[in-house]
Amino acid sequence: MNNFEFKNPTKIIFGKDTIEKLESEIPSDAKVLLLYGGGSIKKNGIYEQVTKALSKVDVTEFGGIPANPEYAVLMEALQVIKDKGINYLLAVGGGSVIDGTKFLSAAAVYDGDTPWDILTKNVKTQKGMPFGTVLTLPATGSEMNSGAVITRAETKEKLAMGGPGLFPEFSILDPQVISSIPERQLVNGITDAFTHVLEQYMTYPIGASLQDRFAESILQTLIEVAPKVIKDPTDYKPAADFMWSCTMALNGLIQKGVPGDWAVHMMGHELTALFGIDHARTLAVIAPSHYKYNIEAKKEKLAQYGERVWNITEGSIDDKAYAAIEKTEAFFQGLGIDTKLSDYTEDYEGTAEEISKRFTARGWKGLGENQDLSPDKVEKIVKMAY
């Protein structure tokens, strides 16, 4: 096991009818900016629950944060924060709204030249503007971690940021919100959380037995609840298991003491930036090719995953590893998620070269847990995913 430090101060408030607890979590004298996305919260009753709980607080609203939170939109919100003297942020939404709120938490206190620096100069925010979240879409785990990914349409870029000061002060997780989530977003959420676990697990054996088993536990639970959640998102029990699994998939716990890969995300982000493909679907496109290409480096863990999660008992390590990749791809497809780039766009020729070129331009010499995935290898993996 590698040495690690772990601290996660976010307060989770989980369960039925918990949105009303907002009232006791936000200081009564706060000037709150309520951030949300496309307005679904105004159709499913969540907006009413939130505003009722905040009836005694000074609240300004900022809606319209898009999926893949857009820098230009967030700069408008930053202006509102300054104009209105906002001192507390409340994200009501999924990963995009929460990620956008994290950027604003950092940008509101940043004293450099331009908030763009936060994304390009690896600024680690030590203390941002305080914020909480009401999660409306389980997927990214952003509700209990300190990272975010921001998109800039102007330059077709998608960049990561974070810092120890960007954990939500609290996050309210009411699994009842799942009942009104469209199936497309549900399956995206399952795929996203599943891939988050894979990125932290599918590397090489480092002998961290408990972290391995925790990772496998999340994968097993997602596999178990996925069909139930899709069949009936109003069924509370699988909804609750699904929601908690997504949070645990990326709250830092399973990545402590172990190597991380994250190359699937790095490549996937480019597919979203280039084609606007849903984040989760880009992961399902890249992951199978990535694991096949890196079979030598990853086969021990792939085989362990095959044995423990998919009950693959027959064959050699290599056989089990390949079978596990097939099971994974079939799992995504069973959710209705296409796993080839050509399923999403006819304009895929040249994509691998373009992504390779971008990585070279950014000076990204070696991705993955062994830092050996050079841009030419990335090109091959993306081509395998056509």
Q: Which helix (H) or strand (E) holds 112?
A: none
| By CB under 8 A, residue 317 contacts a copy of itself | no
Shortest Å distance, C-beta 222 to a copy of itself: 9
Closest CB to a copy of itself among residues 105, 211: 211
**How many whole angstroms from its chain centre is CA 337?**
17
CA 312 to each of CA 226, 253, 317, 329, 331: distance values in angstroms, whole numbers, following the listed order: 20, 27, 11, 15, 15
Query: Cα separations (Å) of 195 from 124, 177, 287?
Result: 25, 22, 8
Stretch that binds a copy of itself, among 71-79, 132-140, 219-227, 360-368 (CB under 8 A): 219-227
Using CB under 8 A, which of 204, 214, 344, 364 touches a copy of itself? Answer: 214
Count the site residues for a copy of itself by CB under 8 A. Answer: 40
Identify the residue among 122, 155, 209, 316 touching a copy of itself (CB under 8 A): 209
**The amino acid at 332:** F
Nearer to a copy of itself, 239 or 323 (CB): 239
Q: Would you count residue 313 as binding a copy of itself (CB under 8 A)?
A: no
Interaction between residue 230 and a copy of itself (CB under 8 A) = no
What's the CA gap between 284 and 280, in Å, rounded?
A: 7
Question: Is residue 31 helix, strand or coil?
Answer: strand
Instruction: Kindly state the smallest distance separating residue 228's Cβ from a copy of itself, in Å.
Output: 10
Closest CB 152 distance from a copy of itself, rounded Å:
34
Residue 209 buriedness (CB in 10 A; 0-12 / 13-18 / 19+): exposed
Nearest approach in angstroms of CB 8 to a copy of itself is 7
Nearer to a copy of itself, 260 or 276 (CB): 260
Residue span binding a copy of itself (CB under 8 A) among the ranges 86-94, 237-245, 274-282, 351-359? 237-245
Helix H or strand E encompassing 39? none
| Residue 261: C-alpha distances to residues 48, 125, 310 (Å) | 41, 24, 21
What distance in Å separates the CA atoms of residue 91 and residue 69, rounded to the nearest whole number?
A: 12
Instruction: Answer yes or no whether residue 216 interacts with a copy of itself by CB under 8 A.
Output: yes
Q: Which residues bind a copy of itself (CB under 8 A)?
A: 1-16, 18, 207-211, 213-214, 216-218, 220-221, 224-225, 237, 240-241, 244-245, 248, 253, 256-257
